[in-house]
Amino acid sequence: MISLLLPLFQVPALGQSSLLLPDYPASYVVTEDDTLWTIASQFLRDPERWPEVWTPDTYLDDSDLIYPGDILLVSFDGGSPRILMQRGDRMMEKLSPSMRPQTLTSAIPAIPLEAIENSFSRNRIVTQAEFDAAPYIVANTGNNLAIGTGDEVFAPGIWPTGTSTFEIYRAGRHYWDASGEVDLGLEVEYLGFASIEATESDGVNRMLINNSSKEIRVGDRLLIREQSRINATIFPTEPASHLQGEIIAFLNNDSLASQLDTVVINLGLRDNLEIGNILSIRQPGVTMTDEVECSRMSFKERFSNLFKRDSLQLPAEEIGVILVYKTFEQVSYAVIIDNTAPAKLQNPVVSP
């Protein structure tokens, strides 16, 4: 067996690509605690480039999945490194009909961005002060009433240096904590983006609307374009510490949300929440009357407890999983990637 594997590691001069770590392992056995990120970090300088070297064997069962016990090996194809896999041994046991507990073995998760990015919102959360201080559209250059792609507009304001492209937003909902006293931020609706064509006077720029997703109006604000912080492959991770929050809004103002819908949660950068973190959606357990306990009471006791009947609070149950894709200071956007029941406002979200 060893002699068959040796040729895989006779690396040609060009084969030691900058992709690989200098001390990458000859082989690596996947463990139950691994994530795709930790596996990629064993071999690559930049774990995000895993898709460039991963070569699944289509003859294996579930060839796109990696399981604990699988063996990963490095090979070279025309000088380019490739990661190959040998499926780990599976214990064979003859079973007779009976109930047996069995530990589930989970595949190492990874999510291609293209599979869910159409569900992402381009809205943002800013402070009221940031919104008020942003440059704004004051007029368009033509006589048309509607402003859209290809139109030119005038915008006064204080402009950041070194930036010529801006996103266009309109004020939306304001979020507050449950007490109504703590300001969580202003949600602004994405409308499109524009670039500076010329400076007309001190503080006034002529802007070209490069793209618009809906009609743009006088008064809409111009904010510096966001840089995407999401890579082509998403590696879901658990938060660094235990977190507990709740769903405070849905983007479409519905009362329920399901798979691939975006939810707004009251956790953010201040809570050390990160893009790629996953959280569990919980449904509070049902409160029910303890009829057994009530049956032991006298009539007088039952009557005195008529409006405060002894009750049982059943445990909360998980009804879904969300993936965080945009984080702000006090709130975040997350997409529901799996659910067994519709999510509701005020559903708790907790570390899985």
Tens digits of residue pLDDT in 56-73: 877 676 677 888 888 888
Q: Which of the four pLDDT bands, split at 50, 70 and 90, describes residue 138?
A: very high
Give the domain ranges of the chain.
2-86, 119-224, 236-350
Q: Does domain 2-86 have CATH number 3.10.350?
A: yes
pLDDT of residue 254: 80
Pairing of the two strands 317-327 and 278-283: antiparallel
Residue 339: strand, helix, or coil: strand
Given a contact cutoff of 8 angstroms between Cβ atoms, the answer to whether 273 and 297 are in contact is no
Please give the structure tokens belonging to residue 318: 């998980």
Mean pLDDT, the chain, rounded, equals 82
Q: Is the pLDDT of residue 99 over 70?
A: no
The CA–CA distances, whole Å, from 333 to 28, 229, 254, 304, 351 equal 36, 13, 16, 47, 16
> Among 103-112, 184-193, 247-256, 325-334, which stretch is predicted with the lowest mean pLDDT?
103-112
Helix (H, G, I), strand (E, B) or coil at 10: coil
Question: Taking 60 as the threshold, does the pLDDT of residue 159 lie above it?
Answer: yes
pLDDT reported for residue 152: 95
Report the first-to-last Cα separation within the chain, whole angstroms.
Answer: 41
219: its two tokens: 């008064």
Q: How many whole angstroms separate alpha carbon 110 and alpha carbon 66?
A: 10
What is the helix (H) or strand (E) element at residue 189, kind and residue range?
A: strand 183-201
In the 8-state DSSP scheme, what is residue 45?
S
> How many of the other CB atoms lie within 10 Å of CB of 258?
12
Q: What percent of the chain has pLDDT over 70?
A: 79
The predicted structure's pLDDT at residue 76: 84
Q: b or e along 14-35 (b: 16 or more beta carbons within 10 Å of the residue's beta carbon)? A: ebeeebbeeebeeebebeeebb
**What pLDDT is recorded for position 35?**
84
pTM over 0.85: no
DSSP 171: E
Query: Do the Cβ atoms of 273 and 245 come closer than 8 Å?
Result: no
Least confident of 176-180, 185-189, 250-254: 250-254
- Measure the CA–CA gap between 175 and 333, rounded to whole angstroms: 13
| Burial class of residue 340 (count of CB atoms within 10 Å of its CB; 0-12, 13-18, 19+) | exposed
* Integer CA distances (angstroms), 14 to 7, 49, 80, 195, 307, in order: 16, 18, 8, 44, 80
Q: Which pLDDT does position 303 carry in this prediction?
A: 54
Section 294-307 average pLDDT = 62
